Amino acid sequence: MASSAPANLDDSGLEDDARRDLEKRVGAVYLKHNLRNPTEQTRAWIEIQRILMTDARWRWAFEAHRRLYKRSYDKRPAVSGPGPAWVPPELAESATNLTGLAQALRTSTYANVHRWSIEHREEFWADIIRRLGIVFHEEPARIFDAGSSPTEPVWLPRATMNIAESCFGADPGKVAIVSQSEGDTSRAIKYGELRRLCGRVANGLEAMGVPRSGRVAIYMPMTPESVAVYLGTILSGRTIVGIADASAPQEFEKRARIGEAKAVFTTESYRRAGKDLPVYDKVVRADGPPAIVLPPPGRETAKIVRAQDRAWDEFLGRESFEPAPCRPDDATNILFSSGTTKDPKAIVWTHMTPIKSAADAYFHHDVHSMDVLAWPTSFGWMMGPWLTYASLVNRATMALYVGDPQSREFGKFVEEAGVTMLGVVPKLVRAWMDSRAMEGLDWGRVRLFSSTAEPSTPDEMLYLMFLAGYKPIIEYCGGTEVGGGYLTGTLLQPCAPATFTTPAMGMDLVILDGDKVADRGEVFLIPPSIGLSNKLLNYDNEEEYYAGVPAGPHGEMLRRHGDRIERLGGGFFRHLGRADDTININGVKTSSEEIRTVLANPYVYDAKPIAVDIEGTGQASLVVYAVPRDVAKVKSKELRDELRTEFERAIKERLNPLLAHVHDVVLVSELPQAGPGKTRTMKELQTDYRTRSRTS
């Protein structure tokens, strides 16, 4: 039997009587279980979890939850992997989309289901196309031409289609979108209303004279109208150029120019964190293409300042529009990488790419028609299109909030909209942990979370699970050039915070250290797969993803992705950051993310370590960007010196003494961003640091 001593709950935020009562109950659980046995550890934690959720005295005391989770697993052997915070029911008792496929394949394990999806790729994609109800004008001769090159695969030969049509398979009277703008009331738009509004957009583009196959930009937050713009443009046979509404005028100009946008849909302004943020004004300042301008909430029409621009209500045409038939590999969407040190890669999505997005939602996020999906994002980033297809192709409902997702108002929207799948970026969860703004809300309808954009930490993800009563998190790693994820999770596998459990369905990967297969190193994808990009507007796709890549262990052609991952015990994976974020100091090679995980400090909200060749000698020094919790101390030399000492101590004790010299600490009010939830890469921050050094 294990010791009955619970984790030390002193200073965990509990009143003395509540602390003693909880320690007594937890001690009784520990007496029943051998905490050196991995299975018993999980059983103990699940019992303790139930205790934690059923008493108001400690329901919202996260520090107590965190300590008890760690106590339950503190003797766990590495070979068993990290401790699950959520475990699924037995496969036979599960009612997920993956279970349905397992039953059809007459197998009893998820491993067999995934193996089938990569060994029978044509059958797999044929099955998901059928399950999703993808609409064709002309059916494909087959799903995949096996004689085509992995770098230029031929999917759905001879087919014609328009992927926007597959977004309207639900009953016209079903709610497609529930939305709310900050400070306003929520509203709902049904599938039939959305389809008619898409027709009005398509006819408006026809009347405006934008040629078929022409490109138009979208530069506005995610609203029901922007969804109609997005789908209506694609329905008309034209291509969307997605630009994040937070982009500065010069970044908008660059992307509109690269994308050759003939027009731009934008909004006069929107409200976020109590401020009115102008967007149309940035189009004018950038001398952008002709604009169709939506009014801010509360106004019926926008104020137009240029002769070539027009108001939204004047632009819209009639409702009826026949979808333009297209080839599967025709472009639907141009999306951009961050591009903060060079021109961003302009990545082309086709009418096939959304099949990957919707398939990941179906299998990995277990989306059903009764689900309500929320993910704070925009059409300037891949999760905007992803959310659209993940929801609408699966006949579910989108929940869109325009405003500050760090606010309690957003949390109330999640509660009142009945959100069942909530997507996040780790940066957002860090803000919720810091402010505790979401605690006390009823997120009981949330079935699962998903997290993407950059590596998370176990404490962040345990906190996210805690907010909804320990619902699982599907960690989701992929990219714009994948059309979704390549590494993720499922509801058929345990969830250990901040880890992944499987390559995505229909995809496989190899981890290489140099040219050797390893458990830790750079990840390479094994093509082909629907979703993988085959074209860039302004770079050579083959050069970016295939040139110089070694062959796989069985001679397979591999595709570069640029992430580093580690295979852990128990079937788990951990993301180690980007390959170009590797730090090599004094001959010790590690990742920026690994160093970041040991820098937790009560005075620091977030941190990002980088390696910089200070003297131009080829020898790197460690520099840490840090966000103080007290923003007023962002220029404090005393805090900078104290953090430098504390960071060196933490690295020496918890990682490696050879890494423990910190050359500099840069205090910033926010880590330099390359997109929502994405901190700039090592190379970008190296450039930023050199610029700061020259001007200081």
CA-wise closest residue to 334 among 268, 223, 271, 257: 257
Q: Within 13 Å of residue 539, how many CA atoms lie on the same side as its CB?
A: 20
Query: In this structure, are residues 659 and 585 in contact, taking their beta carbons and an 8 Å threshold?
Result: yes
Alpha helices by DSSP H, listed for 85-120, are 97-105, 110-119
Q: How many CB atoms lie within 10 A of CB 406?
A: 20
Q: What is the pLDDT of residue 591?
A: 79
Residue 36 pLDDT > 90:
yes
CA-wise closest residue to 531 among 488, 474, 480, 476: 480
The identity of residue 383, as a single letter, is: M
Q: What is the pLDDT of residue 92?
A: 58
- Tens of pLDDT, residues 314-345: 999 999 999 999 999 999 999 998 644 468 89
Q: What is the pLDDT of residue 618?
A: 72
Using DSSP's 3-state secondary structure scheme, residue 228 falls into helix
Domain count, the chain: 3
Average pLDDT over residues 385-408: 98
Q: Which residue has the higher pLDDT, 612 or 174?
A: 174
Look up residue 439 and give its DSSP letter: T
The answer to whether residue 433 sits within a structural domain is no
Specify the CATH number for the domain of residue 325.
3.40.50.980
Q: Which domain holds residue 71?
A: 16-76
Q: Which residues contact 540 (CB under 8 A, 6 or more apart)?
A: none
Residue 507 pLDDT > 80:
yes
The answer to whether residue 485 sits within a structural domain is no
Query: In this structure, are residues 193 and 225 in contact, taking their beta carbons and an 8 Å threshold?
Result: no
Q: Within 13 Å of residue 146, how many CA atoms lie on the same side as its CB?
A: 5
Structure tokens at 391: 């929801």
The answer to whether residue 691 sits within a structural domain is yes
Q: How many CB atoms lie within 10 A of CB 614?
A: 15
Q: What is the pLDDT of residue 201?
A: 98
Q: Which residues contact 534 (CB under 8 A, 6 or more apart)?
A: 151, 152, 153, 329, 348, 541
The answer to whether residue 169 sits within a structural domain is no
The answer to whether residue 164 sits within a structural domain is no
Look up residue 495 and give its DSSP letter: B
Q: What is the pLDDT of residue 297?
A: 85
Residue 380 pLDDT > 80:
yes
Average pLDDT over residues 588-596: 82
Based on the number of CB atoms within 10 Å of its own CB, is 209 exposed (0-12), middle (13-18) or buried (19 or more)?
A: exposed
The answer to whether residue 275 sits within a structural domain is yes
Q: With bands split at pLDDT 50, 70 and 90, how would you rate the model's confidence at 423?
A: very high
- By percentage, how much of the chain surpasses pLDDT 90? 82
Please report how the helices 121-132 and 353-363 are oriented relative to each other, as an axis angle in degrees rounded to 10.
Answer: 80
**DSSP sequence for 365-391:** S---TT-EEE----TTSTHHHHHHHHH
Q: What is the pLDDT of residue 581?
A: 80
Query: In this structure, are residues 286 and 371 in contact, taking their beta carbons and an 8 Å threshold?
Result: no
- Tens of pLDDT, residues 219-269: 999 999 999 999 999 999 999 999 999 999 999 999 999 999 999 999 999
Rounded-to-integer distance, Cα 389 and Cα 488, Å: 18
Q: With bands split at pLDDT 50, 70 and 90, how would you rate the model's confidence at 2?
A: very low
Q: What is the pLDDT of residue 685?
A: 86
Q: Which residue has the higher pLDDT, 3 or 375?
A: 375
Structure tokens at 589: 């090679």
- Tens of pLDDT, residues 50-62: 999 999 999 999 9
Q: What is the pLDDT of residue 696?
A: 66
Structure tokens at 277: 């943020």
Residue 287 pLDDT > 50:
yes
Q: What is the pLDDT of residue 589?
A: 76
Of 296, 326, 351, which closes a domain? 351
Report CA 475 to chain centroid distance, whole Å: 8
Rounded-to-integer distance, Cα 1 and Cα 534, Å: 58
The answer to whether residue 305 sits within a structural domain is yes
Residue 663 pLDDT > 60:
yes
Q: What is the pLDDT of residue 454?
A: 86
Phi, psi for residue 486 in degrees, rounded to 5: -110, -20
Rounded-to-integer distance, Cα 655 and Cα 602, Å: 19
The answer to whether residue 225 sits within a structural domain is yes
What is the average pLDDT score of the chain? 93
Q: With bands split at pLDDT 50, 70 and 90, how would you rate the model's confidence at 675?
A: low
Of 351, 385, 401, which closes a domain? 351
Q: What is the pLDDT of residue 677?
A: 65
- By percentage, how much of the chain surpasses pLDDT 70? 97
Rounded-to-integer distance, Cα 66 and Cα 234, Å: 47
Specify the CATH number for the domain of residue 627.
3.30.300.30
Residue 5 pLDDT > 50:
yes
Of 288, 321, 351, which closes a domain? 351
- Tens of pLDDT, residues 87-146: 998 765 678 999 999 999 999 899 999 999 999 999 999 999 999 999 999 999 999 999
Rounded-to-integer distance, Cα 692 and Cα 610, Å: 14
Q: What is the pLDDT of residue 431?
A: 92
Q: Which residue has the higher pLDDT, 616 or 629?
A: 629
The identity of residue 560, as a single letter, is: R
- Tens of pLDDT, residues 299-318: 889 999 999 999 999 999 99
- Tens of pLDDT, residues 7-32: 789 999 999 999 999 999 999 999 99
Phi, psi for residue 450 in degrees, rounded to 5: -140, 150
Residue 164 pLDDT > 90:
yes
Query: In this structure, are residues 603 and 681 in contact, taking their beta carbons and an 8 Å threshold?
Result: no
Q: Which residue has the higher pLDDT, 297 or 346?
A: 346
